[in-house]
C-alpha cells in the first residue's frame, strides 16, 4: 500500500531524475549537440487539445500560446509518472532501499514512449526514422533516457540519505 510519504518521495524522485536528464541535455548543448525543444511538446499538446494529434513537422505547426512552459510542465509530469511506474512495478520499498537495475531498466524502457508515440506524432517518424540522422537521434534519445534512469537511482539514494 502506498502512503503519503511514498507519494511525496516518488514525486521528488521523478522530478530529480528529470533534472538529471535536463543536465545531460545542457551538457550536450554545451558540446554543440541539439536536443529536444520542450516548446514543441507544448505545441503538440496544444494542438492535441484541439483534436490534432499527428503533424508532418511540429516545428512548422502553428505556435501555441504558452507552449514552452506547457512543454516543460508536461516533461516534468511525465518524469514523475515514470517514477510512479517504477514504484508500482518494484514496490514502495524500492524508495527506501534503491538499487541500480530497476532504475536503469525503467529509464531504458521509457524510451519506447518517444520512439513510438511522441516522435511519430511530431513528424519525426517511428524511432526518429524521418530525421536527417535517425541513428544519431535514436542514440541521443536512448542516452537521455539512460540519464533519466541514473537520475531515478541518484534521486532515490539522495532522498534515502536526507529523509530517514
For the chain, the helix, strand and coil percentages under 3-state DSSP, each to the nearest 5:
75, 0, 25
Mean pLDDT over residues 141-145, rounded?
A: 98
Instruction: Report the C-alpha gap between 70 and 82 in whole angstroms.
Output: 18
pLDDT tens per residue across span 72-110: 999 999 999 999 999 999 999 999 999 999 999 999 999
End-to-end CA distance of the chain: 19
Q: Is 108 helix (H, G, I), strand (E, B) or coil?
A: helix
Mean pLDDT over residues 120-132, rounded?
A: 97
pLDDT at 45 over 80: yes
CA-based nearest residue to 59, from 144, 132, 112 = 132
- Locate 152 and state its grid cell: 531515478
Phi first, then psi, for residue 106 (nearest 5°) are: -65, -45
Taking the whole predicted model, whether its pTM rises above 0.85 is answered as yes
Instruction: Report the C-alpha gap between 134 and 109 in whole angstroms.
Output: 19
Q: Is 164 helix (H, G, I), strand (E, B) or coil?
A: coil
- Mean pLDDT over all residues of the chain? 97
Confidence class for position 164, pLDDT limits 50, 70, 90: confident
Amino acid at each position: 500500500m502506498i502512503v503519503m510519504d511514498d507519494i511525496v518521495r516518488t514525486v521528488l524522485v521523478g522530478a530529480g531524475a528529470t533534472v538529471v536528464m535536463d543536465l545531460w541535455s545542457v551538457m550536450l548543448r554545451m558540446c554543440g549537440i541539439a536536443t529536444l525543444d520542450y516548446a514543441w511538446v507544448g505545441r503538440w499538446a496544444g494542438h492535441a487539445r484541439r483534436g490534432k494529434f499527428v503533424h508532418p513537422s511540429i516545428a512548422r505547426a502553428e505556435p501555441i500560446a504558452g507552449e514552452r512552459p506547457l512543454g516543460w510542465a508536461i516533461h516534468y509530469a511525465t518524469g514523475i509518472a515514470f517514477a510512479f511506474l517504477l514504484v508500482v512495478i518494484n514496490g514502495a520499498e524500492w524508495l527506501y532501499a534503491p538499487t541500480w537495475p530497476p532504475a536503469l531498466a525503467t529509464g531504458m524502457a521509457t524510451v519506447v514512449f518517444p520512439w513510438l508515440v511522441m516522435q511519430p506524432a511530431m513528424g519525426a517518424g517511428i524511432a526518429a526514422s524521418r530525421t536527417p540522422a535517425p541513428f544519431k537521434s535514436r542514440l541521443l534519445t536512448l542516452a537521455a533516457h539512460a540519464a533519466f534512469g541514473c537520475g531515478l537511482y541518484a534521486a532515490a539514494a539522495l532522498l534515502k540519505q536526507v529523509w530517514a
